[in-house]
Amino acid sequence: MPVPDGAVLSRRGEIVAALRGIVPGEGVISDPASLRAYESDGLTAYRQVPLVVVLPETTAQVSAILRWCNAAGVKVVPRGSGTSLSGGALPLEDGVLLGLSKFNQVLDIDYDSRVAVVQPGVTNLAITRAVEDRGFYYAPDPSSQIACSIGGNVAENSGGVHCLKYGLTTNNVLGVEMVMMDGEVVRLGGQHLDPAGLDLLGIVVGSEGLLGVVTEVTVRILPKPQTARALLLGFETVERAGQCVADVIAAGIIPAGMEMMDRPAIHAAEAFVHAGYPLDVEALLIVELDGPYAECDYLVEQVAKIATANGAVTSRVSTSEDERLAFWAGRKAAFPAVGRISPDYYCMDGTIPRRRLPEVLRRMAALSDHYGLKVANVFHAGDGNLHPLILYDANQPGELERAEDFGADILRLCVEVGGVLTGEHGVGVEKRDLMGTMFTEIDLAHQQRVKCAFDPQLLLNPGKVFPTLHRCAEMGRMHIHHGAVPFPDLPRF
């Protein structure tokens, strides 16, 4: 992380007083015991107590806080519910942690236009809860949905098991109100489709809290499908399971969800929730289909045929809602299940072209031997998003470091086969230093200049995403290469 600024640390009293001037009462937290609650997010290996925490309740307060901090040269880290798995909300010793938890109201629901306007601290699941009595829901469903905030979802462009068919956050957000670091409030998008000019909303979603503090979100809501049915399919090899996935898609079917687990993950899940998973298979697929009854019945049959053709040794179709949920129970509990068999685990999040899965799993097994650490895999199979869970024990000296090195090697492998470092959890601090494996300096500079357009002093959530944050003045310079040959030798017609 950036070296803490001693001058800012020594001005702590003044900063706290200024924030109290903006947010009265208990909205400013400065006593060490209470600050500790904010020292990490979902990536608990990284911890840092913030300089001070402020919990504003209005956009005007957010604007005043950012304006003051910008003028005073004080860094700010936004925080939703703190479930980030990449350290995106990790505080700074010399920075204000700005929590959005008091922005917890659903502001407006318009069923005719199928949109909901909510404050950023509303949890993902609360949006669905607010509209479900009218038969609607909010589609992106991260596993953390009871806790994570929609503001955090916007910042991370979060996905879920249903995003193959229904898209990630970015495909379901229509507009935001956002406060920039200089305190200016802008509205990007709205209740209409597509922007008038550049798609700034598109760049804000997934920007990991580096471009502005989101204070209102407009999302699209969808009618809940008539029904959903799932298949539980077991295969003797990962290759066969992978081929089954490819064949399902080649048949023109985009399932609502298509999840794969490998042997270690299946065993951990079964031991934990007793979902009735077969234990003698190398790969388990859960394929969920949703829509009208007629569609589900038809597609269940098609998928079952494709599975048989690929040599599925287990093939069960849910015949009731309870059974469908039982199929999912093991997958949904995969993380805590792995947590039971190992003191600690480290969740990775690369994406690969799915056709490379067998090779990636083989090389991952070799890495597992090399590092002497076990790994279990859950996989959003439809879109190639892999979640290897590395098992380790933080109390054994050196194991955490080994787990991190193992994880970094897995991510390098993902990039090497044509994939990416992160499919849904974000770069944060965790993958920051690996950005160079995917992007050149020039690629990163094109991204960082976007950051400069929003926050030229680099005060908002610094130390995340970019391996080095170059000063914006430096970034703006143009390098005219090959000297300044005035009339080059170009084909002109």
Partner 1 sequence: MADQEILRPNGTDELVEAVGQAAARGQRLEVRGGGTKSAIGRPGRDTALLQIQGFDRVIDYDGPELVLTAGASTPLAKIETLLAQNNQMLAFEPFDHGVLFGLPPAATLGGVIAAGVSGSRRLTAGAVRDHFLGLRGVSGRGEAFMGGAKVVKNVTGYDLPKLLANSWGQLAVMTEVTLKVLPRPQTVQTVVLSGLDERQACLIMGQALGSQADVAAAAHLPADINGGLALTALRLEGFEPSVKARVQMVLEQFGATASCDLLPPEASALLWEQVQHVKPLQGEGTLWRINVPPMAGSEVTERLKPYGARCLLDWAGGLVWALLPTTDGGQEVRDVASTLGGHAMLIRAPEALRRSIPTQHPLAPGVAALTQRVKDGFDPAAILDPERFI
In the complex, which residues of this chain contact ligand FAD (CB under 6 A)? 41-42, 77-85, 88-89, 100, 120, 142-144, 148-149, 151-153, 155-156, 158-160, 208-209, 213-214, 335, 424-425, 461
Contact letters for partner 1, residues 448-487 (x by CB under 8 A):
-xxxxxx----------x---------xx-xxxxx-xxx-
Pairwise CA distance, residues 2 & 137, whole Å: 41
| Binding range to partner 1, per CB under 8 A, among 5-13, 20-28, 338-346, 377-385 | 377-385
Q: Is 465 in a helix, a strand, or coil?
A: coil
Residues 139-168 that bind partner 1 (CB under 8 A): 156-157, 159, 163-164, 167-168
Pairwise CA distance, residues 132 & 223, whole Å: 9
Report the phi/psi class of residue 55: left, alpha or beta, with left for phi > 0 and alpha for psi in -120 to 50. beta
Encoded tokens for 140:
């992106």
Judge contact between 165 and 357, C-beta under 8 A.
Answer: no
Does residue 274 touch partner 1 according to CB under 8 A? no
Work out what residue 167 binds among partner 1, ligand FAD, none; the CB cut-off runs from 5 to 8 Å by kind: partner 1
Nearer to ligand FAD, 50 or 151 (CB): 151
Say how many residues touch partner 1, by CB under 8 A.
113
| Binding range to partner 1, per CB under 8 A, among 33-41, 48-56, 328-336, 444-452 | 444-452
Does residue 442 touch partner 1 according to CB under 8 A? yes
Rounded to the nearest whole angstrom, what is the least distance from the CB of residue 281 to partner 1 in the complex? 22
Pairwise CA distance, residues 34 & 46, whole Å: 18
Encoded tokens for 73:
């040269």
Residues 90-109 that bind partner 1 (CB under 8 A): none
Q: Which of 185, 181, 68 is nearest to 460 (CA)?
A: 181
Does residue 294 touch partner 1 according to CB under 8 A? yes
Query: Strands (DSSP E) along 111-246, which ranges?
Result: 115-118, 136-137, 173-179, 185-189, 213-220, 222-223, 227-235
Work out what residue 377 binds among partner 1, ligand FAD, none; the CB cut-off runs from 5 to 8 Å by kind: none
Nearer to ligand FAD, 52 or 155 (CB): 155
49 CB neighbour count, 10 Å cutoff: 17
Q: Which of 296, 169, 303 is nearest to 225 (CA)?
A: 296
Pairwise CA distance, residues 467 & 379, whole Å: 28
DSSP class of 316: E
DSSP class of 102: T
Encoded tokens for 189:
């998008």
Closest residue to ligand FAD, based on beta-carbon distance = 152
Does residue 255 touch partner 1 according to CB under 8 A? no
Rounded to the nearest whole angstrom, what is the least distance from the CB of residue 158 to ligand FAD in the complex? 3
Q: Is 347 in a helix, a strand, or coil?
A: strand
Pairwise CA distance, residues 435 & 438, whole Å: 6
Nearer to partner 1, 366 or 442 (CB): 442
Pairwise CA distance, residues 313 & 341, whole Å: 27
Judge contact between 342 and 326, C-beta under 8 A.
Answer: no
Work out what residue 443 binds among ligand FAD, partner 1, none; the CB cut-off runs from 5 to 8 Å by kind: partner 1
Work out what residue 67 binds among ligand FAD, partner 1, none; the CB cut-off runs from 5 to 8 Å by kind: none
Rounded to the nearest whole angstrom, what is the least distance from the CB of residue 486 to ligand FAD in the complex? 25
Nearer to partner 1, 25 or 252 (CB): 252
Residue with tokens 């290759």: 239
Rounded to the nearest whole angstrom, what is the least distance from the CB of residue 7 to partner 1 in the complex? 28
Does residue 493 touch partner 1 according to CB under 8 A? yes
| Binding range to partner 1, per CB under 8 A, among 182-190, 228-236, 314-322, 391-399 | 182-190
Contact letters for partner 1, residues 205-244 (x by CB under 8 A):
xxx---------------xxxx------------------
**Candidate list 444, 458, 459, 460; residue touching partner 1; CB under 8 A:** 444
Q: Which of 463, 461, 485 is nearest to 79 (CA)?
A: 461
Residue type, 178: M
Judge contact between 396 and 352, C-beta under 8 A.
Answer: no
Work out what residue 1 binds among ligand FAD, partner 1, none; the CB cut-off runs from 5 to 8 Å by kind: none
Residues 333-372 that bind partner 1 (CB under 8 A): 351-355
Rounded to the nearest whole angstrom, what is the least distance from the CB of residue 262 to ligand FAD in the complex? 18
User: What is the length of the chain?
Assistant: 493
Specify burial of residue 260 (Cβ count, 10 A radius: 0-12, 13-18, 19+).
buried
Nearer to ligand FAD, 144 or 368 (CB): 144
Nearer to ligand FAD, 209 or 330 (CB): 209
